């Protein structure tokens, strides 16, 4: 084991939970579906809905700003900002560039986005770990942000698995939250059309069955590879975190690894699933799919729910990005919950949020589409001060306009009195 890589990982983690949600029983009623299909068949209870004044930039800012504040991070120490997202707001300009400005990070900072569907944050995390391991960067920190809005067409099979949110992670050689184990990589790639979003579409396209099969194929491959590389088996893990597009997918994934371990006919018992997966999977039931943040919100959920009981636990983590690229890796939770207790923000965010009715959910979607067109700034600006510390105010001359509570664009205030909200 290489000492240089042994002490690297996640120093701090913070989650942004959107302020609104839709109860899936309400969606089932409108879609004419038995609610048990959504709640039990897919394992989804509620899905996070961003307001029209939110986008992946504002959500990423919320997670990252909370992290910087709650963990008292010195901005000057951050030399890399990598954003994993598949709902980026511009084909050329990265979300990282907007975040760098809104967060007031140092000029001496490398900024970029990574893209490979839901694998993108893992790609960013891997890059950050490599960067931190360089002797020249010792003692410096990297900020990795996963931020996405999962949106499928209204009435489609994917709709009940939607979600939104962001996770920010500080990566360094002080891995208080999670220290990665330095076994050889277990990765898988295959060109597959299971889930994609053409540049002209705000909604993802998916071949559901193909995507589930592809996910399980990648899991099987990487699980076998990692077991061979590390010698670790199912019983060596205290908990398993699987990319969670919907909670039932975690059951399918767990069943598959149990079968790989103990034979094709194996059915995991409820108690076994409860021990290995339940402390984390509840977050997916509450938020829906966070795409790039999906795996890491499970990590946050586990730390928040177990607190001291998570200390020292060995985790197995499976990251899957459609298209596809996947990876299985293992890590140890840090020894002292004092480092993350009260600082993650997941349960606090869930307590604060409000339930939307179905019509308002549709209105939010329509407004988000309208605000993402050039010239929307005049309409969107009326929402300024919507209770958010940072807002997306629409597009003016093909440029996105953002404002934080401390940095309000003069125009936003000037025009707000006569602007009109578009629904």
d(CA 107, CA 91): 23
State the DSSP string of 116-166. BTBTHHHHHHHHHHHHHHSGGGTT-EEEEEEEEEE---TTSTTGGG-EEEE
Shortest CB 237 distance to ligand CAA, Å: 20
Residue (of 249, 231, 42) closest to 240 by Cα position: 249
Shortest CB 279 distance to ligand CAA, Å: 21
Q: What is the DSSP letter of 312?
A: T
Question: Among the options 11, 54, 62, 86, which is catalytic?
Answer: 86
Question: Among the options 100, 176, 243, 339, which is catalytic?
Answer: 243
Shortest CB 296 distance to ligand CAA, Å: 13
Q: Which is nearer to ligand CAA, 118 or 257 (CB)?
A: 118
Q: Which residues pair with 372 in a beta bridge?
A: none
Q: Which is nearer to ligand CAA, 117 or 143 (CB)?
A: 117
Q: Which is nearer to ligand CAA, 18 or 293 (CB)?
A: 293
Residue (of 143, 145, 177, 149) closest to 161 by Cα position: 149
- Of the candidate spans 137-145, 172-180, 244-252, 397-405, the one that interacts with ligand CAA by CB under 6 A turns out to be 244-252
Residue (of 85, 130, 146, 117) closest to 218 by Cα position: 117
Dihedral sign from CA coordinates of 262, 263, 269, 274: positive
State which of residues 19, 243, 276, 343 lies at the interface with ligand CAA (CB under 6 A): 243
For 273-344, strand residue ranges (E) read 314-321, 325-333
d(CA 254, CA 256): 5
CA distances from 34 to 24, 25, 39, 348, 419 (A): 10, 9, 9, 31, 42
SS3 for 307? helix
Q: b or e along 239-254 (b: 16 or more beta carbons within 10 Å of the residue's beta carbon)?
A: bbbbbbbbbbbbbebb
Q: Clarify whether 118 is annotated catalytic.
A: yes
Residues 178-197 interacting with ligand CAA (rule: CB under 6 A): 194-195
State which of residues 53, 237, 246, 329 lies at the interface with ligand CAA (CB under 6 A): 246
Cα torsion through 150, 278, 184, 193, rounded to 10 = -30
Q: Which is nearer to ligand CAA, 141 or 322 (CB)?
A: 322
Residues 39-68 interacting with ligand CAA (rule: CB under 6 A): 40-42
Q: Which is nearer to ligand CAA, 248 or 400 (CB)?
A: 248
State which of residues 58, 211, 285, 330 lies at the interface with ligand CAA (CB under 6 A): 211
Q: Clarify whether 243 is annotated catalytic.
A: yes
Residue 173 makes CB contacts below 8 A (sequence gap 6+) with 7, 8, 132, 138, 139
Residues 93-122 interacting with ligand CAA (rule: CB under 6 A): 118
Q: Clarify whether 258 is annotated catalytic.
A: no
Binding footprint of ligand CAA, residue count (CB under 6 A): 25
Residue 279 is inside which H or E element, if any? Answer: helix 278-287
State which of residues 131, 215, 296, 329 lies at the interface with ligand CAA (CB under 6 A): 215
- Of the candidate spans 74-82, 157-165, 341-349, 354-362, the one that interacts with ligand CAA by CB under 6 A turns out to be 157-165
The residue at minimum Cβ distance from ligand CAA is: 41
Dihedral sign from CA coordinates of 199, 188, 215, 48: negative
Q: Which is nearer to ligand CAA, 289 or 330 (CB)?
A: 289
State which of residues 114, 161, 285, 292 lies at the interface with ligand CAA (CB under 6 A): 161
Q: Which is nearer to ligand CAA, 253 or 333 (CB)?
A: 253
State which of residues 22, 143, 249, 250 lies at the interface with ligand CAA (CB under 6 A): 249
Shortest CB 401 distance to ligand CAA, Å: 30
Q: Give the pair of three-digit tokens for residue 136.
A: 């020249």
Question: Among the options 118, 177, 258, 325, which is catalytic?
Answer: 118
- Asked whether position 34 contacts ligand CAA by CB under 6 A, the answer is yes
d(CA 175, CA 74): 16
Name the residues annotated as catalytic.
Answer: 86, 118, 243
Q: Which residues of this chain interact with ligand CAA, rule CB under 6 A? A: 34, 36-37, 40-42, 118, 157-158, 161, 194-195, 206, 208, 211-212, 215, 243, 245-246, 249, 289, 291, 320, 322
């Amino acid at each position: 084991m290489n000492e240089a890589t042994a002490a690297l990982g996640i120093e701090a983690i913070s989650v942004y939970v959107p302020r609104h949600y839709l109860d899936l029983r309400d969606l089932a009623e409108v879609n004419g579906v038995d609610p048990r299909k959504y709640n039990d068949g897919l394992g989804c209870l509620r899905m996070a809905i961003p307001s029209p004044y939110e986008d992946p930039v504002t959500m990423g800012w919320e997670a990252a700003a909370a992290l910087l504040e709650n963990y008292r991070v010195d901005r000057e120490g951050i030399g890399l900002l990598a954003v994993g997202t598949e709902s980026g707001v511009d084909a050329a300009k990265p979300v990282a560039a907007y975040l760098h400005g809104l967060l007031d990070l140092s000029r001496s900072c490398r900024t970029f986005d990574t893209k490979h569907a839901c694998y993108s944050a893992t790609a960013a995390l891997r890059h950050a770990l490599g960067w931190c391991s360089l002797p020249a960067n010792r003692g410096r920190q990297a900020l990795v942000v996963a931020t996405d809005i999962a949106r499928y067409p209204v009435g489609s099979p994917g709709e009940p698995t939607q979600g939104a949110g962001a996770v920010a992670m500080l990566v360094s050689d002080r891995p208080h939250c999670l220290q990665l184990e330095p076994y050889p990589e277990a990765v898988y790639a295959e060109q597959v059309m299971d889930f994609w979003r053409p540049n002209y579409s705000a909604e993802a396209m998916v071949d559901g069955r193909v995507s589930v099969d592809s996910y399980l194929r990648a899991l099987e491959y990487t699980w076998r590879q990692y077991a061979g590389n590390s010698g670790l088996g199912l019983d060596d893990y205290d908990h398993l975190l699987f990319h969670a597009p919907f909670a039932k997918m975690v059951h399918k994934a767990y069943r598959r690894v149990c079968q790989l371990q103990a034979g094709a006919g194996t059915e995991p018992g409820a108690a076994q699933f409860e021990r290995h997966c339940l402390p984390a999977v509840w977050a997916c039931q509450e938020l829906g799919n966070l795409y790039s943040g999906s795996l890491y919100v499970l990590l946050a959920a586990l730390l928040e729910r177990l607190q001291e009981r998570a200390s020292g636990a060995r985790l197995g983590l499976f990251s899957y990005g459609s298209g596809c690229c996947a990876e299985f890796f293992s890590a140890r939770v840090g020894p002292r919950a004092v480092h993350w207790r009260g600082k993650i923000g997941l349960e606090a965010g869930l307590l604060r949020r409000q339930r939307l009715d179905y019509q308002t959910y549709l209105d939010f979607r329509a407004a988000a589409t309208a605000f993402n067109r050039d010239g929307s700034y005049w309409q969107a600006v009326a929402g300024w001060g919507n209770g958010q510390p940072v807002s997306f105010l629409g597009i003016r001359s093909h440029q996105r306009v953002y404002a934080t509570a401390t940095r309000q664009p003069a125009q936003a205030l000037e025009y707000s009195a006569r602007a009109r909200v578009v629904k």
